[in-house]
Structure 1
Amino acid sequence: MPATPASPDPTMEAIGQAVGEGRSGHTLSARHKLLELWAAIGVTGDPLHRCSLAHYLADLYEDPAQALAWDVRALDAADAVTEQRVQEHHAGLHIAGFYPSLHLNLADDYRRLQSFDAATEHINAAKEHAPHLRQDAYGAHLRTAVDEVAEAISRRDTAKRPSAPGPAGLSSP
């Protein structure tokens, strides 16, 4: 994601600060801050805020069922985000580019929960949306993760992937 937003957004800045805190190893504090922001945003708040917050918050849970709940919220919110809203936040972003990561995370959650049919459905959706990824390091990272999760699904492997985002090493965009 390019560094300069189109216009200041204090909520997105607060989400970013909490994510940074989580990535630096302060998982509980980051989770607490994001949950407070969620309460302030509300379930009918700005879909971009809800999508971003839920997507990152899911990464702060080791339990795949808890992560799944937040990843479902992120996908639901993404479906309500307009391209105009994304462009208002950052001219270089497109909502279509969110979907590969959102579906990847859901596929991984379902796989870890042994729900392989649902995992397959979401990994196929991630692959379908992968052409919307940028041709950069982030896009390459996600394409690799899609391949890893697809392979794990085919093996019926429920172990957490070493490269997966999470409290021990957050790397999710």
Structure 2
Amino acid sequence: MAERQDQAAPDAVLTRIGQVVMLHHGGDREEARRRFLDLWTEIGEHGDPLHRCTLAHYLADTQDDPGDELAWDLRALTAAEELTDERRAGQAGNEGAVAARALYPSLHLNLAADYVKLGRSDAARSHVRRARGAAAALGDDTYGDGVRAAISRMELRLGEGGGSGEGSWGPPRQRS
């Protein structure tokens, strides 16, 4: 019975994160930020890395200040790296590490966008290259296609793909 509860707990947290994502996408950014921060307090700095990665990844979108957005995106990347490090050490389940690898392209893409906002084009270029390198982990589905297209747009914007870089881009987020 305890094992079943342990398995249900991560699903419950990810479901709660997904509910707040829907609130944010519905236009209530302030309330979404408040609820995300409440969840962050509940999960804690040392909570489950998949939860922290997912939550920080979405929480970054609710920030008004580009520096704060960068800080949350860096927290998401750090948590994703913990997931893959744990898998290598044999301490975590395969599902979390697979989920983290699928998030890397979007995580790096968002970091590139953060650095563009902060006028740090070299750092942005570095992260868009890392996003492109990690894109092999994406599935052949709508999400994967969207992230790959957003990487291409960011490459163009930064002059990495030989284009003018004009136009909007907008990295899609992993569905929780």
Q: What is the CA–CA distance in structure 1 between the aligned matches of 2:140 and 2:13, rounded to whole Å? A: 28
Query: Does the 8 Å contact 1:48/1:85 carry over to 2?
Result: no
After TM superposition, the score normalised by the length of structure 2 is: 0.80
CA offset at residue 64 of structure 1? 2.1
Q: What is the CA–CA distance in structure 2 between the aligned matches of 1:85 and 1:51, rounded to whole Å? A: 15
Task: Tell me the alpha carbon deviations over residues 15-43 of structure 1, each in whole angstroms, 9 at most, x when there is no partner.
Answer: 11111110111111111000011111111
Query: Does the 8 Å contact 2:83/2:96 carry over to 1?
Result: no
1:149 aligns with 2:150: no
Task: Tell me the alpha carbon deviations over residues 51-77 of structure 1, each in whole angstroms, 9 at most, x when there is no partner.
Answer: 000000111124322211100000000
Structure with larger RCO (C-alpha < 8 A, sep 6+): 1
Q: Which moved more, 1:60-69 or 1:139-148?
A: 60-69
Q: Segments of 4+ in structure 1 off by > 6 A?
A: none
Query: Which has a greater percent of helix?
Result: 2
Q: What is the CA–CA distance in structure 2 between the aligned matches of 1:25 and 1:11, rounded to whole Å? A: 22
Q: What is the CA–CA distance in structure 1 between the aligned matches of 2:36 and 2:130, rounded to whole Å? A: 27
Q: What is the CA–CA distance in structure 1 between the aligned matches of 2:145 and 2:62, rounded to whole Å? A: 23
Query: Does the 8 Å contact 2:53/2:77 carry over to 1?
Result: yes
Q: Which runs of 5+ in 2 are unaligned?
A: 1-6
Query: Does the 8 Å contact 1:111/1:156 carry over to 2?
Result: no
Q: What is the aligned residue count?
A: 157
The aligned counterpart of 1:172 is 173
2:28 counterpart letter in structure 1: H
Q: Summarize the Cα distance change of 1:156–1:55 in structure 2 as closer, same or farther, 3 Å threshold.
A: farther
2:108 counterpart letter in structure 1: H
Task: Tell me the alpha carbon deviations over residues 98-137 of structure 1, each in whole angstroms, 9 at most, x when there is no partner.
Answer: 1101000001110121101111110010010011100011
CA offset at residue 86 of structure 1? 5.7
1:37 aligns with 2:39: yes
1:120 counterpart letter in structure 2: R
Query: Does the 8 Å contact 1:48/1:86 carry over to 2?
Result: no
1:15-30 map, 5 Å: 15-30=17-32
> RMSD of the TM alignment (CA)?
2.3
Q: Which runs of 5+ in 1 are unaligned?
A: 1-6, 166-170
After TM superposition, the score normalised by the length of structure 1 is: 0.81
Query: Does the 8 Å contact 2:105/2:131 carry over to 1?
Result: yes
Aligned-pair identity (%): 41
Query: Does the 8 Å contact 2:154/2:169 carry over to 1?
Result: no
Q: What is the CA–CA distance in structure 1 between the aligned matches of 2:123 and 2:105, rounded to whole Å? A: 15
The structure whose Rg is larger is 2
1:28-67 map, 5 Å: 28-67=30-69
1:1-173 map, 5 Å: 7-8=7-8, 9-82=11-84, 83=87, 84-85=92-93, 87=95, 93-154=98-159, 162-164=168-170, 171-173=172-174
